[in-house]
Structures are given as C-alpha cells and as structure tokens.
C-alpha cells in the first residue's frame, strides 16, 4: 500500500469519526438530551434512578456560550410549555443546576394553593395521576408556602412549576415562576431505570477490581425496573 493511499484512507477514517461526533453534538444540543432523576420531587411519576430523554426542540433550543450556563439566544419554538407538561429547566437560584417539574400555570394566570389544593384562575386543578402527599399536616402561609400559597399572578413569559411529590419539592412555591430563558426541554421517554442499591456498598470486603466489577454486574439485573423502560412521560 502506497503512503499516499494510507494517508487517504486515514483522512476518510478521521472524516467519518468527525462526522459522527458532529451529528451527535448537533442532536444532543438541538434535539434531545439525556437527564437523570436524582431526587424524589417528582414521585411517583418519575423515580430516583430514572434516566430520560428530553425534547429540546419543542420549546426552542437555547444556544449557550460554550462551557457556561449563559444563553446567547433561543431558536424558534414549536410551542410554549403548557400546564401538564413535565419540563426541564435551569434553577432560578443556581443556573448551573437543572431541575425537572410539572408546569401548572403560565404567564397571566393566577395560582392559589389552599390547604394543598392547587387552584388556577379560581378553579381547583386535579392532581396528576401519580402525584402524592407524604405529610398529612397543613402549614399556614406564614410558616411555609408548601400548603398555602398566593394568590400569585404568573408574570408574562414565565411558568409556574410544581413537583408531583407535593410535600417534598422545592419548586415555584419557593423559587417563584421560571422565566422562559431558563427552559431547556420537555421530558419525553424513559430509556433506563434502576433502583438504588440498598444492600450496602457492593465493593465492601472485596480486594480486587475484577471482584468488584463481577459483584456489580451480578446485582444489576435485580435493580433494573424493566416495566418502566420505554415509558412515555406524561
């Protein structure tokens, strides 16, 4: 094989790799992105250990400054977040941190929570199918906004977000409405889910890397929530 032919084949190989990497980055940046659920704030709709794909295109893709959480501009959206959507957004308090909650009201609507019951524009809103309340107590508004909040009018181009685990969620009751610029995408589908390993560190007592890997693999099948794989999120 001549040196020129070797260089040509190497160039084609590198071009193929760069093309694949480029397509991956375009898809990840502009279409879908993977997210992990680390907390119980959306139980029992989303569980700790769920991995999901989010549609970033539907709300308009934010174009960020590389290696920062700052957005330069947002591409046109197909539609805005609507009540009932499960939305990924940057935390208003820490824009380097992503949160996932359910949109319950949009700009111009009035939110009022009375003894845990959500009212929007004066009408009670049914809880999502898998929502839950872990604490039977009711706190007055002066003590906490958890159970009694508002009335509060959502500013234009803002969205009021709440976790489905209503008693254990840091959301718009505490952070107020989320501005449109912080919206990242709409939760779409679960592609993986496994339960936390509650039997203790799988590496405890093991002295070699192969033993650690083998034990991890041995435990893995019993932790996978097979019935959740591929579930559409709503």
State residue 132's pLDDT score: 96
Interval 41-87: pLDDT, tens: 999 999 999 999 999 888 987 666 555 555 666 677 789 999 999 99
State how far the Cα of 54 lies from the Cα of 34, in Å rounded to an integer. Answer: 6
State residue 233's pLDDT score: 94
* Per annotation, catalytic residue among 41, 169, 172, 193: 41
Decide if pLDDT at 14 tops 70: no
Decide if pLDDT at 26 tops 50: no
Decide if pLDDT at 230 tops 50: yes
Q: Categorize the per-residue pLDDT at 219 as very low, low, confident or very high, splitting at 50, 70 and 90.
A: confident
- 8 annotated active-site: no
CB 195 within 8 A of CB 135: no
Interval 98-153: pLDDT, tens: 999 999 999 999 999 999 999 999 999 999 999 999 999 999 999 999 999 999 99
- For residue 155 the two structure tokens come to 């500013």
- 222 annotated active-site: no
Q: What is the pTM of this model?
A: 0.79
What is the set of domains in the chain, with CATH numbers?
Answer: 29-228 (2.10.109.10)
Output 13 or 184, whichever has higher pLDDT: 184
State residue 218's pLDDT score: 75
Output 14 or 191, whichever has higher pLDDT: 191
Decide if pLDDT at 182 tops 70: yes
In the chain, pLDDT over 70 holds for what percent of residues? 76
Q: Categorize the per-residue pLDDT at 220 as very low, low, confident or very high, splitting at 50, 70 and 90.
A: confident
In the chain, pLDDT over 90 holds for what percent of residues? 59
End-to-end CA distance of the chain: 57
Decide if pLDDT at 161 tops 50: yes
State residue 70's pLDDT score: 59
Asked whether the bond before 44 is cis by omega within 30 degrees of 0, the reply is yes
User: What residues contact residue 96 under an 8 Å CB cut-off, 6+ apart?
Assistant: 69, 90
Return the sign of the alpha-carbon dihedral for residues 176, 164, 101, 159: negative
* Per annotation, catalytic residue among 56, 101, 116, 186: 101
């Amino acid at each position: 094989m001549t040196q020129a032919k070797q260089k040509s084949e190497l160039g084609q190989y590198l071009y193929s790799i760069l093309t694949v990497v480029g397509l991956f980055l375009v898809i990840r940046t502009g279409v879908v992105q993977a997210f992990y659920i680390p907390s119980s704030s959306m139980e029992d709709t989303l569980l700790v250990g769920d991995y999901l794909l989010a549609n970033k295109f539907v709300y308009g893709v934010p174009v960020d400054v590389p290696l920062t959480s700052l957005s330069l501009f947002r591409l046109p959206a197909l539609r805005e977040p609507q009540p009932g959507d499960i939305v990924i957004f940057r935390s208003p308090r820490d824009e380097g941190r992503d949160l996932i909650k359910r949109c319950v009201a949009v700009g111009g609507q009035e939110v009022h929570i009375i003894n845990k019951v959500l009212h929007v524009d004066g009408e009670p809103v049914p809880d999502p199918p898998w929502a839950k309340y872990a604490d039977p107590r009711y706190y007055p508004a002066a003590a906490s906004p958890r159970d009694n909040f508002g009335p509060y009018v959502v500013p234009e181009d803002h969205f009021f977000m709440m976790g489905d685990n209503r008693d254990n969620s840091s959301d718009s009751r505490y952070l107020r409405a989320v501005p449109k610029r912080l919206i990242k995408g709409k939760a779409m589908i679960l592609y993986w889910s496994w339960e936390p390993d509650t039997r203790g560190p799988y590496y405890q007592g093991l002295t070699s890397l192969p033993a650690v890997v083998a034990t991890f693999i041995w435990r893995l099948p019993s932790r996978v929530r097979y019935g959740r794989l591929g579930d559409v999120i709503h």
